[in-house]
Structure 1
Amino acid sequence: MAKKKMLELNNIWKDRSKPLTLKIKLLKCLVWPVLMYECEAWTPKKEDDKRIEAIEVMCFHRRILRVKCTDKRTNVSVLKEIRTTLSLQQAINTRKLQYAGHALRNPRTTLMKTV
Structure 2
Amino acid sequence: MTLKNYIGFYKDNWFGKAEVFKKKGKLYIKFLRSPKLNGELQYYKDNTFAVKWEYQDMNADAFVTFSLNNSGKAQSIKIKGISPDIDFSFDFQDLNLQRVD
TM range (shorter): under 0.3
Say which structure is richer in helix: 1
| TM-score (norm. length: structure 2) | 0.27
Higher relative contact order (CA 8 A, sep 6+): 1
TM-score of the superposed pair, with normalisation by structure 1: 0.25
